Structure 1
Amino acid sequence: MSALSGLAWLPAALAGALALHAVVNARLLRRPSATDFPGPVAVLLPVRDEADRVTPCLRSLLDQRGVPDLSILVLDDGSTDGTASVVRAVAGEDSRVRLLTGAPLPPGWLGKPHACQQLADAADPAATVLVFVDADVVLAPTAVAGAAALLRSAGVGLLSPYPRIVAGSWGERIVQPLLQWSWLTFLPLRAVERSARPSLAAAGGQFLVADRDAYRAAGGHAAVRSSVLEDIALARAVKRAGGRIALADGSGVATCRMYESWSSLVAGYSKSLWASFGAPSGAAAVVGLLLLVYVLPVLLVLAGLLAGSVSVLVAGGVGYACGVLGRVAGAAATGGRWWPDALAQPVSVLAFAWLVRRSYRLRRGGALTWRGRPVVPSGGGARG
């Protein structure tokens, strides 16, 4: 039991160090401020079967202020639910809005990169800033101006202001907070900005702000045409082209409810998690580390109780508390809900591990689809 007592403190030490890193990152987070932006900005909104949720997004875009020269391009990518009609009804006679009909998907392209590239190509040539927004995002009136100004003040080519993730169902509350928590916990934010290494990159495609010249130098979305995680791939492409990227907390100016049911969440994560790690061995290493740091402490608490070992019990309790503290730090920094959700951190990690396993299993079986299109691995003639 003495050997176990010593090893029991390893998860606690790792969880404590990662929680401290999350706290430090939270203090370094950039945030858009309420300020005007004088230059032309093009907001680019790809939609595919979004009739039931594009209205709040588009209305929030029409309410933007602080950008005197704002254009809004919406591309309908083969919707079959009347999305285009909803866009026309909401936009009315507003001359800032232009609705485009997407071209057929060429071989080798995934759907979203193709839609985004068409939008970028159609944007006003005078627009020096391109703002990509998903239909499930709702922006505050100062969001576009503030994010464009932050892009310029940070001196980067690509800015990713992560929205506040809205989670309604229990499944969303278990899994969705891991998005912000993961990069706050594991990524050194200032190193991400300063380092030229493409591997040290992250981005969220829900709300993405690009300097047009940096976007072009990186090859645009054409450079990531077959990437399931096109947002991260674009960030890496910007770095390869000599540009810089930055992450920001956009929770004060943007909200996003990515999924509205457990089944849609499972489908969404299954589609893309395999692409986050590449080889299964990499996924196994990451999942193993997460289980060690965030699930094992709970088992140590139980072991300590059963064996009557106070040292094991305390080590497990401290490890669990540090894991919860890291979740609280992430939620507090990004506008998320921490009580009582953070207490379920071990359950969140177990759910994530299951989703990773499911994603790889479906990929091996060629059964990954999204919005009615097959998802084929990068380099394999992606068509979805």
Structure 2
Amino acid sequence: MSLLGYGMVAWLGFKLANLLINLLGFPVLRESREAPARGVSLLIPARNEAHNLEQTLKGFLAQEVDEILVLDDGSSDATPQVVARAALQDPRLRLISGAPKPEGWMGKTWACQQLAEAARGDLLIFTDADVRWKAGGVRALVGAMTRERADLFSIYPRQITPTLPERVLLPLIDDVLMGYLPYPLLKTPFPSAAAANGQVMAFRREAYWACGGHAGVRGEVLEDVRLAQRLKASGGRLRLALGDDLIGVRMYRTYAEIIEGLGKNLIEFHGKSRVGLALSYALHLLGYTLCWPLALLNPLWLAVGGMGLLERFLLGLKTGRPGWEVVLMPLAPILSTPIYLHAWQRNYVWKGRVYSR
């Protein structure tokens, strides 16, 4: 096998080693019988989320929290009407009309900052409008957060993927986490050893303001990761868990939405480097797809392909995905091609707003 082939084996071996560590040690959220906590605020930024809220509001309202705040960030759909109707049935639910976004802020960071300022709870749980909470989800989160004495506890929800593009591409979100960050490293004091998921982030109020809140990451696309880094830098304690059956999410419904959604922040994961983006694409294409025709020339490339399939299998064991999905791994680089091209562009549109990289 060529030097390139050995390099691919080393890269995939590194990911497999991290996956094995996380298979044993990465926490999974479990139901809790502890008494519900008091002073909990559930905070939901929403911009054109009527289609999601019609399905997810029931889960939000099933949680044992003191208040549920939904901030309407200038929606052009029925988002405020959907929330207002539900609020008539539950006094904990309150609709907030967001102020216009100031220059230099991302839409989500501005919405979350306003929510934090309006919240009254000592525990601030930010969650996206498309996240599906089952009854007991907040109790389980708060219980785990208390046991771990965490200042920020972030959840990676289980991906709900009914269509083929979703099945192929969205598990890669968990693959990045589980394949590159061994959980024990998260417990070190180094701010660079941090990860978080903006879909569910629970802060102790004092820790949130101590690290600057969303104002400290106002212009960041990866505001969740940057917040986690700032929290650790300020002396806070960070912990993560997988949502398992209690917290799930269906992020996108069409292939076009996946391209737009994943493409907006892909380059951020590569240090904003287009060279790094190109190398990443080539690496994944070779390691998961082209390895199979190359095996006709050199059977040792079968080892590369086999390692890629094993990676997907181990990831599925941890995240609850069906085993047969391993056969989809070679499709991932092909379907991700438009995502990389979208990430290459200088300007992009997200939820009706134009941003520049």
Under TM normalisation by the shorter chain, which class is it? over 0.9
Compute the displacement of 1:90 (Å): 2.3
**Does residue 101 in structure 1 map to residue 97 in structure 2?**
yes
Question: Would you say 1:92 and 2:72 are equivalent positions?
Answer: no
Contact kept? 1:12, 1:316, Cα under 8 Å: no
Which position in structure 2 is the counterpart of 1:349? 333
Q: TM-score, normalised by structure 1?
A: 0.86
Deviations 1:45-65, CA, capped at 9 Å, x for gaps = 11111111102211101112x
Aligned residues of 2:165 and 2:335 also touching (Cα < 8 A): no
Pick from 19, 33, 44 the counterpart of residue 22 of structure 1: 19
Q: 1:91 and 1:328, CA in 2 relative to 1: closer, same or farther beyond 3 A?
A: farther
* Structure 1 position 196, deviation (Å): 1.8
> Shift of the alpha carbon at 1:233?
1.6
Gaps of 5+ in 2: none
1:177: how far off? 0.8
Measure the CA separation in 2 of the matches of 1:40 and 1:77: 25
What is the DSSP-based 3-state SS (H/G/I as helix, E as strand, rest coil) of the residue aligned with 1:72? Answer: strand
Instruction: Report the alpha carbon displacement of residue 195 of structure 1 after superposing the two structures with TM.
Output: 3.3
Question: Deviation at 1:152?
Answer: 2.1
- The separation in 1 between residues aligned to 2:130 and 2:96, in whole angstroms, is 19
Superposed displacement of residue 357, structure 1: 3.3
Q: Aligned AA for 2:162? A: G
Change (3 A) 1:349 1:91: same
Distance 1:13 1:371 in 2: 40
Larger Rg: 1
Q: Which runs of 4+ in 1 moved over 4 A?
A: 6-10
**For the Cα contact (< 8 Å) 1:15–1:294, is it kept in 2?**
no
Q: Distance in 2 between matches of 1:169 and 1:175?
A: 10
Find the counterpart in structure 2 of residue 359 from structure 1: 343
1:232 CA displacement: 1.3
User: For residues 64-115 of structure 1, what are the alpha-carbon distances to aligned partners after superposition, in whole Å with 9 as ceiling and x for unaligned?
Assistant: 2xx4x52111111111111111112223231111111001111111110000
1:176 to 167, 170, 174: 170
Say whether the 8 Å CA contact 2:21–2:183 is kept in structure 1: no
* 1:210 and 2:203 are equivalent in the alignment: yes
Who is 1:196 aligned against?
190
- Counterpart AA for 2:58: R
Say which SS state the counterpart of residue 267 (structure 2) adopts: helix
Larger mean Cα displacement after TM superposition, 280-289 or 220-229: 280-289
Change (3 A) 1:195 1:281: farther
Structure-to-structure mapping, 1:47-66, within 5 angstroms: 47-64=46-63
1:173-322 alignment, distance < 5 Å: 173-197=167-191, 199-277=192-270, 278-303=272-297, 312-313=298-299, 315-322=300-307
* Distance in 2 of aligned mates of 1:9 and 1:232: 32
Residue aligned with 1:269, SS: helix
Contact 1:11 1:297 in 2 (8 A): no
CA 1:14 to 1:376, structure 2 compared with 1: closer, same or farther past 3 Å?
closer
Match for residue 328 of structure 1 among 313, 321, 326: 313
Corresponding residue number in structure 2 for 1:146: 140
Look up the match of 1:369. Answer: 349
Is contact 1:20-1:326 (8 Å) kept?
no
2: distance between equivalents of 1:40 and 1:7? 55
Is 2:38 the counterpart of 1:39?
yes
CA distance in 1, matches of 2:25, 2:199: 22
Counterpart contact for 2:154–2:196, Cα < 8 Å: yes
Q: CA deviation at 1:10?
A: 4.7
Amino acid at match of 1:89: R
Q: Secondary structure at the match of 1:49?
A: coil
Q: Determine the C-alpha separation between the residues in 2 that align with 1:89 and 1:54.
A: 11
- Partner Cα distance (1:45, 1:295) in 2: 39
More displaced 10-residue stretch of structure 1: 110-119 or 238-247: 238-247
Q: Percent identity?
A: 34
Name the aligned partner's letter for residue 373 of structure 1: R
Query: 1 CA distance for matches of 2:253 and 2:247?
Result: 17
- Please give the per-residue CA displacement for 1:5-56, whole angstroms capped at 9, x wherever unaligned: x864553454244223212212111122322333321000111111111022
Q: In structure 2, which of residues 68, 75, 80 is the aligned counterpart of residue 79 of structure 1?
A: 75
Q: CA 1:298–1:195 in 2, change beyond 3 Å: closer, same or farther?
A: farther
Deviation at 1:246, TM superposition (A): 2.0
Which stretches in structure 1 are left out of the alignment for 5+ residues? Answer: 304-311, 378-384
Contact kept, 8 Å, 1:12 with 1:320, in 2: the verdict is no
Aligned partners of 1:131 and 1:208 also within 8 Å: yes
State the TM-score, normalized to the length of structure 2.
Answer: 0.93
